[in-house]
Structure 1
């Protein structure tokens, strides 16, 4: 069971990193669009992607914390 939880924790950590990188890329694209247009108008698609990736990152982090809590409870 402990091995399964460790594997699950590693997978969740990878999901956190992937969603963080995707969110940063969406942010960079939005910034690039703002700089190129010069008007301060942002791409709503990129903003939606940023929000989606932020929510996904928070969700995966919360699940990882739950896995760690379960592992700590099992250790006692």
Structure 2
């Protein structure tokens, strides 16, 4: 059981890293036109950044829950 949880923890950590890199790339692709757009709602770049951040937070939460389960089972 702990082996499966350890593998799931590694997968969650890799997914977190992937979403972090995806968010940084979306941030770097932000153009001056995206920053100067007014009144038209959030830009596509901002939406991509937000989606990447929410994904990263989700996978971090999953990793924390799995780590807590591993700690509980190791006692």
Dislocated runs of 4+, deviation >4 Å: none
Q: With the length of structure 2 as denominator, give the TM-score of the two structures.
A: 0.87
> What's the TM-score once normalised by structure 1's chain length?
0.86
Q: Work out whether 1:61 is the aligned partner of 2:60.
A: yes
Give 5+ residue unaligned stretches, structure 1. none
Give me the whole-angstrom Cα distance separating, in 1, the residues matched to 2:15 and 2:48. Answer: 16
Give the total of aligned pairs.
Answer: 71
1:46 Cα deviation after fit: 1.0
Rounded to whole Å, the distance in 1 between the matches of 2:35 and 2:60 is 32
SS of structure 2 residue aligned to 1:67: helix
After superposition, what is the alpha-carbon deviation per residue over 1:12-31, rounded to whole angstroms, capped at 9, x for unaligned?
0010010000000000001x
- Alignment of structure 1 residues 28-43 onto 2, 5 Å: 28-30=28-30, 33-34=31-32, 37=33, 40-41=35-36
Residue in 2 aligned with 1:12?
A: 12
